[in-house]
Structures are given as structure tokens and as C-alpha cells.
């Protein structure tokens, strides 16, 4: 069974149903193999060159053994493990932040509806600001234009100031705080409830800051660069160390070993930026649509946005 969710666009996170182990061996979409295929072909050509020229450079007294490559391979594997762990930690933190955002938004709308049952218009305005915040944050993290979603969701009384701001997600937090302060001045929200709702707004501010930190602070470049250079040097020289023992089997073994190292490095680079649109990044469009559906249902606003399903390749945006 396909996993239902929401989709639009072309680039997407891959979410698959459970597969038998055998067809999974041949999965292409969502794998990093397509990204490193050219690099593997270069390694294949280098391996063929090593086999053809083996007799020639052996007469020159040039001989590489697998001993240093075994030691270097272990070191690279350890560093790649740390690199992937750091990248995956960023991905998990990003998903945790978006999960916490949904919890804070649900709590705020529940609190607003509980005390403003006789003023559904104000509750709907508050709900619209919450939905707009999710979409605006998504656009900020992906460096896309959020004007269409601001025009669609933000109430007219707040729309001009949001559109005029270069930091629209933060401006929407100010609008939410302003709405809350207005209700307090009217006396419709008690000081106790005001403090509780303000705490949830502070949680949204922490989430915004956490997402901005992940988006603007990549893993140090020097760390990535030294690992990148070491992996490519290892994969380039590896065929010349294998050829004396493997001969014609050198291309097969060399490409397989290079695939392991290159794919781990490529996956780490992809997970390092979890807010993008690569196959293994977070499906922010789907998360925003799910949030909009949930908040509209809580506000009794129909119809809800249509539920879309993953396409034939199980894409989620």
C-alpha cells in the first residue's frame, strides 16, 4: 500500500512501501547512484588503464600494495561514519523542529478556540496567521518567494506589513503576538492563559531560530574538503594496488569499493542540507499542507486542501 501524503512539484523526498530484498537491490530513484555514476565510470576507466599498463609500469619498479590502502580505507570509513552521523543528526533535528512546530500550533489554536468560542472570526484570523507561518518558514528555508501564500492566507489587516518585511516568518510571529496582546487588552484572555499562549509563541520562535541555524551553518568546509580529497585520491590510486593480485578482476572490485566510499560521501552531502528538494530531504510542502489541513479542520473551515498521494515513484515534496 502506498503511504498517503501531499505532493506538488517535481523534486521530492522518497517514501516507499515495504519492499522485498531482491527488487530493493535494483532501486534507482532516490538512490545516490545516479549522482556518482560518472565518478564511478572514471574509476572504471582508471581500473582498465591499470590493467592494460600493469606490465609496463611493473618493469619500472613501481609497485603498490594493498597494505597502505587497507589502513587508509579503515581511517576513511571511520571519518565517513562521523560525517554521516553529523549530517543525519542535522536531518533528525530539522524533522524534530517541524514536529514541535505542529504541536505548538495545535496547542495555540486549541487555546484560542477554548476562550473565543463566541468570536469565530478572530479565531479564524489567528488560525490563518499560524498556517501562513508554516508556509513562510518553508519558503525562507528554501529561498523561494512566499508572496502567493502570504496573499492567500494572511488576513488583510496584517498583509501589508508582512509583505513589506524581508523576514516574513519573524514578522508573522510579531503579528501573532500582536493578536494575542489585543485579546488580552479586550479582556477576553486572562493573564494566566496569555502567559500559556505566549510560551507557545516563544516555542515557535525557538523553532524558527533552530531552523535558521541549521540552514545557515553547514558542517565546516575544511572538514568536508579534507575527507572529499582523501576519498577521491584513495579511489584513484586503488586500482594500481589491486591489479597485481586481481588482474582482470580489478575493475569490478575497484568500482565496488569506490561505490561504497563515494555513495557514503554523497549521501552525507545530501543530508547535510535537510531543507532542500533532493530525494532524501524533508518534504516541507507535504508538512505545510498537513499542518494547513489540521488547523483548518480544528477551525471547522471547509473544504480542506485536497489530499494528494505519492506518484508512481513515491515522491513527497
Let me know if residue 150 belongs to a domain. yes
Rounded Cα gap, residues 55 and 102, in angstroms: 65
Residue 159 domain-assigned?
yes
Looking at the domain assignment, is residue 101 inside a domain?
Answer: no
Using one digit for the tens of pLDDT, what is the confidence trace for 96-125?
999 999 999 999 999 999 999 889 999 999
How many domains is the chain built from? 1
Write the DSSP assignment of 109-161 as a string of letters. HHHHHHH-TT-HHHHHHHHHHHHHHHHHHHHHHHT---HHHHHHHS-HHHHHH
R_g (Cα) of the chain, nearest Å: 26
What pLDDT is attached to residue 8? 37
Find the domain containing 138 and state its range: 107-218+288-299
pLDDT digits (tens, 9 = 90+) for 22-47: 666 666 666 788 889 999 999 999 99
What is the DSSP secondary structure assignment for residue 309, as one 8-state letter? -
Phi, psi of 73 (to 5 degrees): -60, -40
- pLDDT number for residue 5: 38
Sign of the CA dihedral with 249 first, then 253, 258, and 263 last: positive
Q: How far apart are CA 211 and CA 98, in angstroms?
A: 9
Q: From 64, 67, 49, 52, select the one nearest 241 (Cα to Cα).
A: 64
Cα three-residue angle 82-88-91, rounded to 5 degrees: 150
Select the more confidently predicted residue: 17 or 199: 199
pLDDT of res. 310: 62
- Identify whether 165 is part of a domain: yes
- The number of residues in the chain equals 317
Tell me the pLDDT tens digit for each residue of 241-285: 999 888 899 999 999 999 999 999 998 988 999 998 887 889 899
Residue 119 lies in a domain: yes
206 part of a folded domain = yes
Average pLDDT over residues 233-237: 93
Q: What is the helix (H) or strand (E) element at residue 14, kind and residue range?
A: strand 13-14
Mean pLDDT across the chain: 87
In a domain, 259, yes or no: no
Q: What is the mean pLDDT of residues 145-161?
A: 96
The answer to whether residue 6 scores a pLDDT higher than 70 is no
Does any domain span residue 131? Answer: yes
CA–CA distance, 311 with 317 (Å, rounded to integer): 11
Q: How far is 188 from 211, CA to CA, in rounded Å?
A: 33
Extended strands (E) in 123-281: none
Residue 255, CA distances (Å) to 27, 182, 250 in order: 18, 66, 8
Does the pLDDT of residue 63 top 80, yes or no?
A: no
The pLDDT value recorded for residue 9 is 36
Q: Is the pLDDT of residue 313 over 60?
A: no
Amino acid at each position: 500500500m502506498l503511504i498517503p501524503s501531499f505532493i506538488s512539484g517535481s523534486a521530492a523526498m522518497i517514501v516507499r512501501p515495504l519492499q522485498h530484498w531482491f527488487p530493493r537491490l535494483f532501486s534507482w530513484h532516490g538512490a545516490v547512484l545516479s549522482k556518482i555514476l560518472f565518478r564511478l565510470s572514471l574509476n572504471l576507466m582508471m581500473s582498465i588503464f591499470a590493467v592494460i599498463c600493469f606490465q609496463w609500469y611493473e618493469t619500472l619498479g613501481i609497485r603498490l600494495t594493498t597494505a597502505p590502502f587497507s589502513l587508509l580505507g579503515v581511517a576513511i570509513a571511520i571519518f565517513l561514519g562521523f560525517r554521516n552521523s553529523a549530517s543525519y543528526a542535522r536531518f533528525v533535528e530539522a524533522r524534530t523542529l517541524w514536529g514541535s512546530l505542529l504541536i505548538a500550533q495545535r496547542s495555540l489554536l486549541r487555546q484560542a478556540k477554548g476562550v473565543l468560542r463566541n468570536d469565530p472570526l478572530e479565531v479564524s484570523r489567528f488560525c490563518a496567521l499560524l498556517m501562513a507561518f508554516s508556509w513562510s518558514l518553508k519558503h525562507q528555508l528554501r529561498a523561494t518567494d512566499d508572496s502567493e501564500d502570504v496573499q492567500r492566507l494572511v488576513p488583510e489587516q496584517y498583509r501589508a506589513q508582512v509583505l513589506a518585511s524581508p523576514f516574513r516568518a519573524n514578522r508573522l510571529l510579531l503579528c501573532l503576538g500582536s493578536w494575542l496582546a489585543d485579546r488580552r487588552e479586550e479582556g477576553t484572555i486572562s493573564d494566566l492563559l496569555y502567559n500559556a499562549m505566549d510560551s507557545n509563541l516563544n516555542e515557535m520562535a525557538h523553532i524558527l531560530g533552530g531552523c535558521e541555524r541549521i540552514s545557515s551553518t553547514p558542517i565546516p568546509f575544511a572538514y568536508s574538503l579534507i575527507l572529499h580529497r582523501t576519498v577521491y585520491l584513495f579511489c584513484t590510486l586503488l586500482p594500481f594496488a589491486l591489479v597485481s593480485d586481481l588482474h582482470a578482476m580489478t575493475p569490478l572490485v575497484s568500482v565496488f569499493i569506490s561505490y561504497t566510499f563515494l555513495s557514503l560521501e554523497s549521501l552525507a552531502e545530501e543530508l547535510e542540507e535537510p531543507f532542500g528538494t533532493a530525494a532524501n530531504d524533508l518534504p516541507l510542502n507535504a508538512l505545510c499542507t498537513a499542518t494547513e489541513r489540521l488547523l483548518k479542520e480544528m477551525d471547522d473551515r471547509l473544504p480542506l486542501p485536497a489530499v494528494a498521494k505519492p506518484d508512481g515513484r513515491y515522491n513527497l515534496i
